[in-house]
Chain A
Amino acid sequence: MWQIVSESVKSANHPLNQDARKYFISKDKEQVIIAVADGHGSKKCFRSDIGSKFAVDVLLKIFSKHLLRKTFDNLQSGFSGMSQDLAKAIHQQWLEKVTTHLERNPFTPEEELVDPKVLKNQKISYGTTLLGALITPNYIIYLQLGDGDILVVSDNAVMRPIPKDENLIANETYSLCDSEAFAFFKFHYQPIIGQLPDLIMLSTDGYSNSFPDENEFQKTALDYNNLYKKEGLDLIRKNITEWLTETTVNGSGDDLTTILVFKAIDNEPTTKREASITD
């Protein structure tokens, strides 16, 4: 069974928080879908707060469908072929949402003047990354397009199921608004053999960019895991807004969003037994 905490804080430098997050947890608390998206926020991507919301909505919808159909429960032919279809479906559905939104909300005269390239290819204005995971008792699927971080804690050690992309420096990122975006998705399919992870942590790059190096950043996941085990979920829920605010103010200065999925410990009450979707 899983327990979830999620929070997002806005950068003092941005007029809007362009990050988005969403999660689903099943009634029995054994199946979880999490998604985090980071709208680019550049001058050209002036609707990226909307694009990031579309991204998390699409991922929740698609993973929910596969969960219901048990698509990934007994993979005979491996995951890699399916991952390409998954990436294409996510990209396609995001584009459809953007197209519909543009039809209903055409560019304003001010938006039309922002950049000729964006006027020609208006989906650029919705540009966003996407991170996610589908967690079940039998397997976990991790997914990533663009920057951001997925950390997993098991036996008090931290690992990255999807390695950092060394090509993404200087705030460059892959984006759903790229016409070839589906080609840049990265996946990791992890069958559960033995123990489930203790913690799965998704975060936008504003979190990792607040630390001088990978080690200092990875301590966040270890500390959250230890806090959960020693103090329980309430303490994390009570303090996380303050912690994230302190982090962005003294670190990257970027919007900062995280979702923490803890493997429930025996003495931790798992609250109400209802399925829920939370933005």
Chain B
Amino acid sequence: MGTKRPGGVLSNRPLHFIWILDVSGSMDGDKIQSLNYAIRNSIPAMKSVADENPNAEVLVRCITFGDEVKWHIGTAVKVADFEWQDVQAGGMTPMGKAMNLLADQLKIPPMTDRALPPVLVLITDGQPTDDFATAYQSLMQESWAKKAVRLGIAMGDDADSSVIEKFIGNKEIKPLVAHNSDQLVNFIKWASTAVVKAASSPASQLKGELVTGNVPVIMPDTSDLSQDVVW
């Protein structure tokens, strides 16, 4: 047996994946059922991607905004242990407060400087009923918010695309608009697999050149999806 390796405990790099979900009253019914189904359905593939990238530790959390703004999953859960508990719809769309809640967790600490770029996924069917602009501005003061891969999925055409575009903040990444359950499942699977995979092993990039993190994001192919307009 060789001499013990110099140095302390080894660790792969944390990759924080955070769902930011609109659970306002307008999501009630088919939309919220589809959302719960889509996230639950994406978990096995997300676990497979994480297994294929052992140098990243994918940690999942979830914010919901509706009746109240809260951490639906507040403690970062290793993807291997991640189980989805259904969310319920009701209330307004306090998206700004959700940004504030998110900002608190993207500070250093609790984040560390060695993390991989976080993946933040906003899903909404409407428009903010509080001051999103100020909260977003505050969020973007945090280094990790600026470096994060920020994605946005609209459920139906009533979602405020300008708000989602602002959240993404990258002309190369467009908001995805899901008009039915099939599209939503596909987009959520894309965010939790293809994007997680890309974020797991980013190469070094030149400072200042990045728009949103340093993860090359390739948008999903939607050509084979059902084009039914349900929402």
Contact = CB atoms under 8 A, between A and B. Distances in A.
Contacts of A168: 207
A175 to B, nearest CB: 5
A212 B13 CA distance: 8
B26 interface: no
Contacts of A103: none
SS of A interface (majority):
loop
Contact of B6 (A40, A175, A223, A254): A223
Contact of B12 (A43, A167, A251): A251
Contacts of B114: 169, 208-209, 211-213
A247 interface: yes
A217 B7 contact: yes
A254 B202 CA distance: 10
B137 interface: no
Contacts of B207: 146, 167-168, 172-175, 178
Interface stretch (B82-90, B126-134, B209-217): B209-217
Contacts of A174: 206-207
B113 interface: yes
B206 A124 contact: yes
A168 B113 CA distance: 8
A155 B214 CA distance: 40
A224 B7 CA distance: 8
B17 to A, nearest CB: 15
B25 to A, nearest CB: 37
A169 B12 contact: no
Interface string A229-270: 001000100010011001100111110000000000000000
Given A13-B55, A217-B7, A43 B113 contact: no
B205 interface: yes
Contact of B205 (A38, A173, A212, A251): A173
B229 interface: no
B84 to A, nearest CB: 28
Given A170-B144, A171-B214, A172-B214, A40 B204 contact: yes
A254 B5 CA distance: 18
A247 B144 contact: no
Interface-central residue, B13, B53, B56, B204, by most chain A CB under 10 Å:
B204
A213 B112 contact: yes
B110 interface: no
Interface-central residue, A43, A171, A209, A223, by most chain B CB under 10 Å:
A171
B6 A243 contact: yes
A45 B147 contact: no
Contacts of B204: 38, 40-42, 45, 127, 129, 146-147, 171-173, 205
A254 to B, nearest CB: 8
A177 B206 contact: yes
A219 interface: yes
A42 B203 contact: yes
Contacts of A164: 113
10 contacts: A147-B204, A171-B116, A171-B205, A173-B204, A174-B207, A177-B206, A223-B6, A239-B2, A243-B6, A253-B55
Given A170-B202, A175-B206, 18 more contacts: A40-B203, A42-B202, A42-B204, A42-B214, A167-B207, A169-B144, A170-B116, A173-B206, A177-B206, A210-B10, A211-B8, A217-B7, A223-B7, A227-B6, A239-B2, A243-B6, A251-B11, A252-B55
